[in-house]
Chain A
Amino acid sequence: MGRLDIYSSAFWLVFSIYIAFESYCLDLGNWHIPGPGYFSFGAALLLGVMSLSVLVKTLLKPSKEKPSPLLRNSCAGRISSLSLSVCFSMFFFLIGLALLYVLFYF
């Protein structure tokens, strides 16, 4: 995975720091009576330690494998057409909802 691991673990590291900070702001409480941020702080700490370990491991031992592309060229069209169809179906779904709302409202 090499390069992809660096990007993803860096992202999770930043995310864990943010969650740890937010949890700290929520109040960690004490050992006797844990506060609202206690549990998420612990989870963020574990996420941070693990992402840091993956990041360091990948940086120290770069993979010899050729990194696979995130999106295969041949399928980019299919993915984008599906995404387009999802957008269309969402659009029609919302139109249908609006119509139903109007029908029931009047």
Chain B
Amino acid sequence: MESLHNLVMGLGTALHPVNLFYCFIGVFIGTLIGVLPGIGPVGAISLLLPVTFHVPPISAFIMFAGIMYGAQYGGSTTSILVNIPGEASSVITCMDGYAMARKGRAGPALGMAAFASFIAGTGTLFALVLIAPPLAEFGLRFGPPEYFSLMVCGLTIVVYLARGSIAKALMMMSLGLILAAVGLDPISSHPRFTYGVLALRDGLGLAQVVIGLFGVSEVLITVERSFSRVVFETKIKGLLPTLQDWKDSIFPVLRASILGFFMGIIPGISVVIPTFVSYSLEKKLSKFPEKFGTGVIEGVAAPEAANNAAASGTMVPLLSLGIPAGASSAIVLGALMIYGLNPGPLLIKESPQVFWGVIGSMYIGNVMLLLLNLPLIGIWVKVLRIPYGILFSLIILFCLIGSYTINNSLTDMYIMIIFGVMGYLMKKFDYEATPLILALVLGPMMENALHRSMIISRGSFLIFFQRPISAIFFGMALLILLSSFFSKKKLGEDILKMEE
């Protein structure tokens, strides 16, 4: 009953004209970056981060959430019409979506993608309302040792689910922790790795690093790959799916929503893996598995529902425990801290209007996306026809301006360029950026928790194993790491094979 009351309060906050405006901006930009290859929600959020410094925190958070789930809607458009996924989470939609478009059923495919996203997006919000507050209540029992072990466990899962080698993911995690140490020491205020550069005293800016690693490097990689785009010239008709389409899709949508939501809660799973798992599940459950890949509507509905449900799922650990589940939620977490909010279990108690306002805005945002996507598909198709030469130059220019405007400092721009080149090389040398970003965000919190735990225990590491909750998290982390050494196959490898 209390949750319902709070939800009504949240809807009231979200319906405030200013928040409504930012929600619209968020879902619009989210859809746009979902449609455009070369820039994802991570890059877009970091680019917009400096713009939001003068905006109320709740409005900024609403906009970022809109970008996160809006990108999942937009990603399907390019998958269906061009066979190029706008987002990694829409890779699997290409298989049946593009096949449907070739059969002349692009309209129902786009329509079903939008409806499935809407059903999953709104349905899983109920689960979010039910799960997040009790989890936050439970999180209040956590002290520094529990937080440290929870963060270690989260990072271990991210490393385990990395697509390449675990050793390389661990290396990137370590690098993230080293980069997080740049700046003044939180206890002694002693400068670390600053080399006399004044801009480094506050640490490496998250936005600059992310814009470089995800924005610039993604553009360079996309420029390198040569692919031709064949956008359907004919007018797309009949966006509403038929009754048979609904019959075929409704259960896959429901199954994918549940699966996507619970997988999204686990750190490192992100929104990509649930799409592959739900597609495989539907293929296994289908009476005609051989038809998958030839243009069946379930092959579009299930992954699209799964990626939107997972986007809601990632909000659970972020809002209730302050633990990001992926790169985009890591940046949102960083943004919350910049705004002076206290992300974690206390967020619900200290800033209920932010917590419930964001949840309320997600309902409104999903309705906006449905209204925005179906009539505006023609515009998104036109956006797809922008020559890549112009598009990528513009993205790079925005990256440069975005990084400069954070502190009006050229050093930030140089940092962004350095990380852009580094991100490109990391992709070439097969290193994943997600463990690095997560470690960069969690690093200062981990260091703080470790310091406090050591002070509490008077220098004994046993504290992490003497407290039950901490011992469970550490045990899980150890188990995951050990299992990766004994099992030859990893989930990430399977996904990579499927993606290829």
Chain A contact residues, CB within 8 Å of chain B: 1, 4-5, 7-8, 12, 16, 19, 22, 26-27, 30-37, 39-40, 42-44, 46-47, 50-51, 53-54, 57, 70-72, 74-75, 78-79, 82, 85-86, 89-90, 93
Is there an interface contact between B223 and A75, defined as CB atoms closer than 8 Å? yes
Contacts known (A32-B454, A53-B167, A54-B167); A89 close to B396, Cβ less than 8 A: yes
Contacts known (A33-B455, A34-B451); A43 close to B178, Cβ less than 8 A: yes
Interfacial chain A residues near B173, Cβ < 8 Å: 46
B429 in the interface (beta carbon within 8 A): yes
Q: In whole angstroms, what is the CA distance A86 to B430 when docked? A: 25
Is there an interface contact between A82 and B219, defined as CB atoms closer than 8 Å? yes
Contacts known (A8-B429, A47-B171, A89-B393); A37 close to B454, Cβ less than 8 A: no
Q: Assuming A31-B454, A75-B223, A82-B392, what are 13 further A-B pairs, CB within 8 angstroms?
A: A1-B430, A4-B428, A32-B458, A39-B446, A40-B177, A43-B181, A46-B173, A50-B171, A51-B171, A53-B167, A78-B224, A79-B223, A82-B220
Contacts known (A30-B459, A36-B187); A47 close to B431, Cβ less than 8 A: no
Interfacial chain A residues near B413, Cβ < 8 Å: 90
Instruction: Write 18 A-B pairs (CB below 8 A) sorted by A numbering.
Output: A1-B429, A4-B430, A5-B429, A19-B178, A31-B459, A31-B460, A32-B455, A33-B455, A34-B450, A34-B451, A39-B447, A40-B181, A42-B177, A51-B171, A54-B171, A79-B220, A82-B223, A93-B404
Interfacial chain B residues near A90, Cβ < 8 Å: 400, 413
Is there an interface contact between A47 and B175, defined as CB atoms closer than 8 Å? yes
Contacts known (A32-B458, A34-B454, A43-B178); A71 close to B224, Cβ less than 8 A: yes
Minimal beta-carbon separation of A16 from chain B (angstroms): 8
Interfacial chain B residues near A1, Cβ < 8 Å: 429-430
* Residues 364-405 (chain B) with a chain A CB within 8 angstroms: 392-393, 396-397, 400-401, 404
Is there an interface contact between A12 and B393, defined as CB atoms closer than 8 Å? no
Is there an interface contact between A22 and B193, defined as CB atoms closer than 8 Å? yes
Chain B contact residues, CB within 8 Å of chain A: 165, 167-168, 170-171, 173-175, 177-178, 181, 185, 187-188, 190, 192-193, 219-220, 223-226, 392-393, 396-397, 400-401, 404, 413, 428-431, 443, 446-447, 450-451, 454-455, 458-460
Q: In whole angstroms, what is the CA distance A53 to B485 when docked? A: 13
Contacts known (A22-B193, A40-B193); A86 close to B396, Cβ less than 8 A: yes
Interfacial chain B residues near A79, Cβ < 8 Å: 220, 223-224
Interfacial chain B residues near A12, Cβ < 8 Å: 171, 175
Is there an interface contact between B174 and A74, defined as CB atoms closer than 8 Å? no
Q: In whole angstroms, what is the CA distance A2 to B216 when docked? A: 26
Is there an interface contact between A89 and B192, defined as CB atoms closer than 8 Å? no
Interfacial chain B residues near A16, Cβ < 8 Å: 174
Is there an interface contact between B401 and A93, defined as CB atoms closer than 8 Å? yes
Q: In whole angstroms, what is the CA distance A36 to B185 when docked? A: 6
Is there an interface contact between A46 and B174, defined as CB atoms closer than 8 Å? yes
Is there an interface contact between B167 and A36, defined as CB atoms closer than 8 Å? no
